[in-house]
Amino acid sequence: MDFTLILVVIVLVSGVIYGLDLLYFKNKRNGREPGIIIDYSRSFFPVLFLVLLLRSFLFEPFQIPSGSMLPTLKIGDFILVNKFDYGLRLPVLGNTVVEVGEPKRGDVMVFKYPEDPRINFIKRVVGIPGDTVEYRNKVVYINGEAQTLTQVTPDGSLVVPPLTEEASEQLGDREHRIWRRMTQGRDFGPIQIPQGQYFVMGDNRDNSNDSRVWGFVDDSLIVGRAFAVWMHWEKLLSIPSFSDVRIIQ
């Protein structure tokens, strides 16, 4: 279900009814109370319009559904996505109307899944337009240069799966942690990224459905940059936790 599309439709319908009431029906009522449809439209339109503006151009909440971004993001993390960093985009259509900025290497980005745009995905930007990306022996190479990777000791907040090591990786100006299996992996590339496209990978490198499988992310599919975790709620019957509120690295 595309919540943004539903919200846009409701705002349009309630806005049209509200406008018609102001311009026409209000003068015809002769002081009588409006019907329930007009009354609801007048009440909900301003609130829903404000929500649409906030979700479309400033911030939008998402929940992490899978473990592809472990150890950075856990299943059940509720995140905030900055919709402004990558430019102002029309809701539903995704067209950029005001250029502000572009995704950078190391950003954690939310986008519409290229093979089914109804689904939102979250991955880390590894390559930007013009880059040549290669993944060899579980190390990322950008334009032929190996990205710094240092094995680290887990902080104990997560149970690291067997035969898995945690490492610190440097991508652009951003340092973050990844998981990688201590087994033979599948090399990828080198491949050059076309203009208007981005190469993304999950931090849980051996358990991620990403650009190594389905290709690049087109600029039109970008939703925004994930920048903070504000709540964790893994199961419906569990108690939400605010003990791990943090900025996303």
The residues near 32 (Cβ < 8 Å, ≥ 6 apart) are none
Residues 44, 93: Cα–Cα separation, whole Å:
24
Nearest Cα neighbor of 140 from 183, 108, 182, 106 is 106
**How many whole angstroms separate alpha carbon 191 and alpha carbon 198?**
12
Catalytic residue annotation: 68, 123
Q: Are 209 and 131 in contact (CB under 8 A)?
A: no
Q: Give phi and psi for 60, each to the nearest 5.
A: -140, 135
Residue positions counted in the chain: 249
